[in-house]
Structure 1
Amino acid sequence: MNESDSTPRIGQIVLINKGRDAGQFAVIIQHIDERFVLIADGDKRKFDSPKKKNIQHLKCYNYVSTEVRDSIKEANRVTNGKLRWALGKFVEEVKDVLEKGDGFDGERGCN
């Protein structure tokens, strides 16, 4: 699968737009096909029971957690703690950028 700007990537942070978890952040942990991915947040959605989501129901951010990506590539899994840590780090970085008034330009569509 080619990693163009519109292709969701393993370790990428997403915002859920549709469904019960709308408004929450998660991390892409696996590609199923061109329409679906598996996401987890390490809290409500653990790595061992991820949520299958249509990429059209997600807002992808131009932010990939290298720690999560590398862990999945090396061990074929990631700890729930690392997922929570990656999401917390992302939220802190976005908050810092917004507080400085620079504007956050890391949003882009998944499709």
Structure 2
Amino acid sequence: MNKEITPQIGQIVKILRGRDADQYAVIVSIEDSKFVNIADGNKRKFDQVKKKNLVHLEPQPFISSEVVNSLQESGRVTNGKLRFAVSQFLSDKSNADQKGE
């Protein structure tokens, strides 16, 4: 079941385990092959990223170019951009869900 996927910075993930289960967040940095740092700009700010095991995350097929560009330019991303990326993904997802019916 656990597919080998390469996480990418700016990618939206669904949190499967822990206090934030069923929430969505953005990968802001990659620690190593097992761990990434995530933030959502809301409860989990960029300055206090959460280190998560990839096993506990479900990567979504959505990468926020705004987050990627911001991190490449300055090494930081605003919490507003993180919130926007998550809300953009959720609105795309709900539109896709509605079309699927």
In the TM superposition, residue 65 of structure 1 has moved relative to its aligned partner by 0.3
In the TM superposition, residue 62 of structure 1 has moved relative to its aligned partner by 1.2
Q: Report the RMSD for the aligned CA atoms in angstroms.
A: 1.1
Structure 1 segment 62-101 matched on structure 2, within 5 A: 62-101=61-100
Structure 2 segments unaligned to the other structure (5+ residues): none
**Identity score, percent:** 52
- TM-superposition CA deviations, 1:46-98 (whole Å, max 9, x none): 00000000000000011100100110011100000000001000000000011
In the TM superposition, residue 101 of structure 1 has moved relative to its aligned partner by 1.3
Structure 1 segments unaligned to the other structure (5+ residues): 103-111
The DSSP-based 3-state class of the residue aligned with 2:66 is helix
The DSSP-based 3-state class of the residue aligned with 1:13 is strand
The DSSP-based 3-state class of the residue aligned with 2:85 is helix
Q: 2:14: which partner in 1?
A: 15
Structure 1 runs, 4 residues or longer, greater than 3 Å off: none
- TM-superposition CA deviations, 1:6-38 (whole Å, max 9, x none): 110000000000111100000000000100000
The DSSP-based 3-state class of the residue aligned with 1:72 is helix
Count of residues in Structure 1 that have an aligned counterpart in Structure 2: 98
Q: 2:58: which partner in 1?
A: 59
Q: 2:27: which partner in 1?
A: 28
Equivalent AA in structure 1 for residue 54 of structure 2: I
Q: Scaled by the length of structure 1, what TM-score is found?
A: 0.86
